[in-house]
Structure 1
Amino acid sequence: MSRKEDSLAAGFLDASAAQKYKRAEVATLPYAKIMVEKSGIAKHVKKGASAHVLDFACGTGAVVQELYNSVPKEKWGNLKVRGTDMSPAMLEYLEARGKSEGWTGLETGVVDGNGIEDFDTCTDSDVFSAQDDITQMLPKSTFTHIFVSFAIIVLPPHTLQRLQTLLQPGGYIAVTSWASVPWYSLFARSVSLMSLPQPYCPSSQEVQDKFCGNWGLESCMVQHLEEAGLQDVDSLEEKRSICCGTPDVWTTSMQFPLGVAVKTWWEQGKRDAQLGELNGVMKKVATENLAENGEVEMEFDGVVGWGWKSG
């Protein structure tokens, strides 16, 4: 696949995408909380020490929210948090969120693509080479804590190794990945109900490989962290049953993963119309399987891995 051809997240950089992505935080926030808790940053800051944090591929700021929630407000002056993302819209949303919440010490910046052609529309690690470095403009040996929340699967090879060089000695990195794709059964059921001729329905394994890779296996997560040069590496897998809003809200929050799936497996030229039909069918299918509170309930399965730089 060329970098110009069928970019997997067209529209990911606009303001509406940020709003949709924010709604997905109901699923990612519990895992952000684990990453922050395992870092010990609250205890670190309460003792009067300063923390210089990088939230890499920060999206709308789920990890940032948990960081500020974990630290007493009177200690926020000891926090310096940098959120980076390839999407200016995500960063604009995070900046506005930070101002509204009074998060002092928060700054944002677009990651640099190192000359990668059409980097701003790429969300598939397959289009990157081993030489691509999207961390190059960030300062080395600077951060005490680095977080990568549900983004590692789409980042260039060796990004984790390069992030490790940005840590101060003794610094901490945490990564999260999905271990499974909870919406697959609803997706497959919906495709089977679409108008003939129906588009291709990828297998569960194909979708798993696309959205999780081997990062969703604890053993592989640990291996990746150790290969990046981290020590005292550990991990955990946790399942959470989460209510994701009404069928309308849930379908809206699904636009990014559905867009990736459609652009990966469906025929160019038909995708917009097919995605529109898929949204309607999925909303109807979801309505038939609601929790008692009238919301779409899904079981999410995520892996959290973390480790420390020597020193």
Structure 2
Amino acid sequence: MKRIFQFSLVGLILLVSSCASKYSKVLNSKDNEYRIKMANKYYEEKKYAHAQELYQELFPYLRGTPRHEDAFYKFAYSAYYLKDYQSASLAYQTFMENFPNSSLVPNASYMQAYCLFLSSPKAELDQTATHKAMGLLKAFVNNYPKSEKAAEAQKLIGQCNQKLEEKEYLSAQLYYDLGYFKASHLYFDLLLSDYPASAKADQYMFMIAKSSYEYAKVSIPSAQQERYEQTVEDCTNFLGQFPDSQFKDKATQMKSDAEQQLAKFKKLQNEQTQKTS
């Protein structure tokens, strides 16, 4: 069995070497027509890395000919199939710049945006690609509203929005978790302003109130009264807008606690007034 495995391994190595040698001959061939034929063959066989390299080598030869458009289009799709999405997006953009009158431009426009969407990282990372993808998807829908891909583009725009919302939420929540309650109050307020129709709008508004409550608790005594007043205002706004929220009881308790603290401040102020009068 061990010997059979060794023979199989040797055979595999020889096969790979043979394929590599054959491709090297194609790549280095001086016969451009032969290389075009082989590039298309590799593309049809889904050997996209070989096809992509050959197409790129052939662009100077094909430039200005009718076959240049087809080769460039397949070059872009090769990058897409290889999951090199950023390169693919750039290739589709370049295709549209080089062939603005092509019937393939609408699809290239969608694919440029779609590849950027696919290259978008997790929500906690930089979302430059997501912003750009969403802008391109919106432009595609505006330019080609009757395209069969318009509905799919709208879905992708929605997913981009969700990821950008999640990014803002993670930033606001991080400030809260680190104890920067004034900053978290601001960031949750901005988050709610940016996504007022969000399914999590009640959570964001609750966190605004919770941030002001925690901020008041850790403030110096001379600043606490004003900040507990802010808590009462935030809780009142929350309970008025989301009376059936799952956070209702917690918000009610925070409001009650803040009002009790304000009552203590008022009592103390009255006592001090009586002493001085």
TM-score norm. by structure 2 comes to 0.22
Compare CA radii of gyration and give the structure with the larger one.
Answer: 2
TM-score norm. by structure 1 comes to 0.20
Higher helix fraction (1 or 2): 2
Higher relative contact order (CA closer than 8 Å, sequence separation 6+):
1
Higher strand fraction (1 or 2): 1
